[in-house]
Structure formats: structure tokens, C-alpha cells
């Protein structure tokens, strides 16, 4: 009888742990969906945010992941996962293999994200933590807006599922290309300085090159639209 009772108890405990894990994943998926809807809102209704944020353009890529931290997990690996999904948003290529501009941009972006969300890792205070950040990242002749949302839920140490999941993380990231027509002159100057520094000649040269590239792009779009009409 004692053995039968122990077996029933063990099976019941295992079922409880499974149910708790399913509940955690359900919470995580709801949070993921909430963040994804919030990202879309920035592009569907930009006028609601333009008064106090740099928004506009269209979203060109997005990514998300749900992860579970166990006792053997390392926070650095989880943070690397967050940085990697942000880095993966950019499909950038260099025409010169010796040009390390791309790698510097990607490493700088990852460092920026890691620094902003460092407080989310290594902390066990509070049962739930949320953090939302956006960044304007200039690269070449394009301005990107990157939104990153993080949610962390810490499992109570007394819960049966604690041995399998100390905490659950949700990360959602999106990348959009800003329309320069939506930028104010001072914002444009500030972003270009991130690329060219504060040298006046370099900034003016960037403006000149950008106008040439933009005019070429506008002409290309018009010609393609005319072809579509035929």
C-alpha cells in the first residue's frame, strides 16, 4: 500500500508540475501577443505617438522568442539571445569585405540593447518585470527605429515547477525604416552626427549624397509605377 500511495503521489506531483509549466507558457504567449500588437500600433497609428516619439515609416522585420531559465541557465546566455534577435533584424551587406562598418554597427547595436536591459537579468526581486525601449539607429543612408519589449516572470521558490523553471522570459523586437520626411531638421542633424561625427563638411557631404540617392530612389519608384500601369 505504501508503495502504491507513493507512486500515486509522484504521478500527481508530476501532473501538477506539467500543468504549472503549461500555465507559464500560456502567460508568456499572451504577453508575446500583447507586445506584438503594441508594435503594430506604432505603424498603424503613428499620429498618436508623433507628438512625443520619433515614429513613422513601415516595419520591415520583427522577431520574438520565449525562454525559460533553469538553475543551470546563465543570464549572459539569455541576454545574448535577446541581442541576437535584435541583430537578426538587420539584413545588411557590405560591398567591401574589408569594410568592418557592418560588424561595428551590429556589435554596437547589441551592446546598446544589452546595456538597456541589463537590469532585467540577474534580479530575483518581484514576481513580474516588464521593460520597453525604442532606439533610433542610423546606418549608411537609412534611419531605423528598433522597438524591444521584455517581460520576465519569476517563479515562486515553493512552487513545484521551480526546479524546472526559475523564471520565464518573453522578448519581442521589431525594426522599421523611418521616413526622413517625418523627421524634424534638428532630429535629422542629430542622427547624421551619429554617423559622421560633428564635422560640418562631413555632415553637409552626407546631406548632398542623401539627396542624390533619394532622388534616384524616387525616380525608380515612379518608373516602376508607370510600368505597372501598362
Predicted confidence (pLDDT) per residue in 74-96, tens digit: 566 566 666 667 666 765 544 55
Position 40 confidence tier, pLDDT thresholds 50, 70, 90: confident
pTM as predicted: 0.75
**Cell 508568456 found at:** 28
Residue 192, burial from CB neighbour count under 10 angstroms (0-12, 13-18, 19+): buried
Residue 177: name the closest of 136, 207, 126 by CA: 136
Position 210 confidence tier, pLDDT thresholds 50, 70, 90: very high
Q: Say which residue, 90 or 72, is predicted with more confidence.
A: 90
59-68, 92-101, 180-189, 218-227 — which is least confidently predicted? Answer: 92-101
| b/e map 200-212, b = 16+ CB within 10 Å | eeebeebeeebee
| Cα gap 113→80, rounded to integer Å | 10
Amino acid at each position: 500500500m505504501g508503495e502504491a500511495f507513493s507512486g500515486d503521489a509522484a504521478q500527481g506531483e508530476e501532473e501538477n508540475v506539467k500543468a504549472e509549466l503549461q500555465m507559464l507558457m500560456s502567460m508568456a504567449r499572451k504577453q508575446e501577443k500583447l507586445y506584438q500588437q503594441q508594435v503594430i500600433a506604432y505603424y498603424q497609428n503613428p499620429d498618436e505617438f508623433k507628438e512625443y516619439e520619433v515614429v513613422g515609416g513601415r516595419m520591415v522585420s520583427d522577431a520574438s522568442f520565449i525562454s525559460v531559465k533553469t538553475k543551470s541557465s546563465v543570464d549572459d546566455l539569455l541576454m545574448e539571445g535577446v541581442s541576437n534577435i535584435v541583430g537578426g533584424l538587420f539584413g545588411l551587406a557590405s560591398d567591401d569585405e574589408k569594410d568592418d562598418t557592418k560588424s561595428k554597427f551590429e556589435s554596437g547595436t547589441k551592446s546598446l540593447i544589452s546595456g538597456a536591459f541589463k537590469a532585467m537579468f540577474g534580479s530575483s526581486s518581484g514576481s513580474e518585470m516588464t521593460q520597453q525601449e525604442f532606439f533610433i539607429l542610423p546606418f549608411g543612408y537609412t534611419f531605423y527605429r528598433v522597438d524591444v519589449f521584455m517581460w520576465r516572470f519569476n517563479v515562486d521558490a515553493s512552487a513545484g515547477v521551480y526546479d524546472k523553471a526559475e523564471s520565464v522570459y518573453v522578448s519581442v523586437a521589431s525594426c522599421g525604416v523611418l521616413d526622413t520626411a517625418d523627421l524634424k531638421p534638428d532630429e535629422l542633424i542629430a542622427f547624421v552626427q551619429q554617423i559622421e561625427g560633428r564635422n560640418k563638411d562631413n555632415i553637409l557631404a552626407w546631406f548632398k549624397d542623401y539627396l542624390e540617392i533619394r532622388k534616384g530612389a524616387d525616380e525608380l519608384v515612379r518608373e516602376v509605377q508607370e510600368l505597372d500601369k501598362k
